[in-house]
Amino acid sequence: VDQRQKCPYLDTINRNFLDFDFEKVCSVSLTNLNVYACLVCGKFFQGRGRNTHAYTHSVQAFHHVWIHLGTNKIYCLPDNYEVVNTSLNDIKRALKPEFTRQQLGLLDQNTTLARDVYGVSYLPGFVGLNNLKSTDFVNVVLQALAHVTPLRDFFLQPQNYHLSRSQLVHRFGEVMRKMWSKDNFKSCVSPHEFVQEVTVASKKRFRIGQQAECIDFLAWLLHSLHVGLGGHPRLEQAGVMDVEEEEEDEQDASGGGLKKRKKKPKKKKKKKLRPEDLLGITPPAEGPTVIQQCFQGVVHVKTLTRKKR
């Protein structure tokens, strides 16, 4: 595919219509494979070649600038060439926000307000979440976890969990990145894709239109993220790890040489894993971590709730 810096249709892009929070499926075929977003009207269509829905829409509606929702590349249809222009980088950052290690260290100190396309100011990390009909319990948990620094920093960098096969892990990471992004086109974030994945992963235990307890959802979410990152589904099995210890040769006190021992089976010692080990997060060397307090708080609150009942 040819690459060009100039495109005669860039002035037709309307950022007010762009919304990347919803499920990325074709509005005609409802497939999630090879989906493009029209940067003129904001609709999602499949394909780029002839006889595809995106190609047909570009010809019929004269909407020529498109972005691939997976690769983040921008194309001009029906001419079918890639547009490489720095003026479009804000759209790419809105679709897939990125954070460097240096930026992660400055997030908690940031007091600079960002502006959306409507001129509304917002502080990254303290944005509102849309209520998708009785999903306020999801929003409460997301707002709380978004300010647990080790957990937040881990999920703001997709390379930490790019090998995970859990869609819930990736959807959670996307919500975290959008909540802390300064390049959003709206001052609020819609957790639509995340809630849909929660509905599937929880087998409709937590879904749109049905209220649930925040503490129940928090416990389920942390456990599901732990399993999605490769942890053991049973916490009592995940909390201990067998460590083999080899017996060392003893020094003979009389001759000064090494005294051979009889072969004995290797001892297995159980070592407790910390909660942050389950999520693959490297904690500080000293003191209880925020992740430990988070896990302990969930267990403590659930215990009190059961006693009251």
Instruction: Check pLDDT > 50 for residue 273.
Output: no
Instruction: Check pLDDT > 50 for residue 248.
Output: no
pLDDT in tens, 59-112: 999 999 999 998 999 999 999 999 999 999 999 999 999 999 999 989 988 899
Domain 15-91, classified CATH 3.30.40.10, yes or no = yes
Query: Domain boundaries in the chain?
Result: 15-91, 97-229
Q: Do 224 and 216 form a contact (C-beta atoms < 8 A)?
A: no
- 23 or 176: which leads in pLDDT: 176
Report H helices in 4-135. 53-61, 89-95, 101-106
In sequence order, what are the residues at sequence separation of 6 or more whose Cβ sits closer than 8 angstroms to the Cβ of residue 153?
A: 104
* 231's tokens: 């942890």
* Domain 97-229, CATH number (from 3.40.50.880, 3.60.10.10, 3.20.20.220, 3.90.70.10): 3.90.70.10
**Nearest C-alpha neighbor of 245 from the set 226, 272, 269, 229:** 269
Report H helices in 69-120. 89-95, 101-106
Average pLDDT, the chain: 81
Report H helices in the chain. 53-61, 89-95, 101-106, 136-145, 149-155, 167-179, 192-201, 214-228, 235-238, 275-278, 290-308
Separation between Cα atoms, residue 58 and residue 285, nearest integer Å: 56
pLDDT in tens, 105-150: 899 888 999 999 999 999 999 999 999 888 999 999 999 999 999 9
The pTM (predicted TM-score) of the whole model is 0.74
pLDDT for 1: 76
* 163's tokens: 């090998």
pLDDT for 201: 93
- 74 or 294: which leads in pLDDT: 74
Q: Do 171 and 161 form a contact (C-beta atoms < 8 A)?
A: no
pLDDT for 245: 42
Per DSSP, the chain holds a count of helices (H) and strands (E) of 11, 14
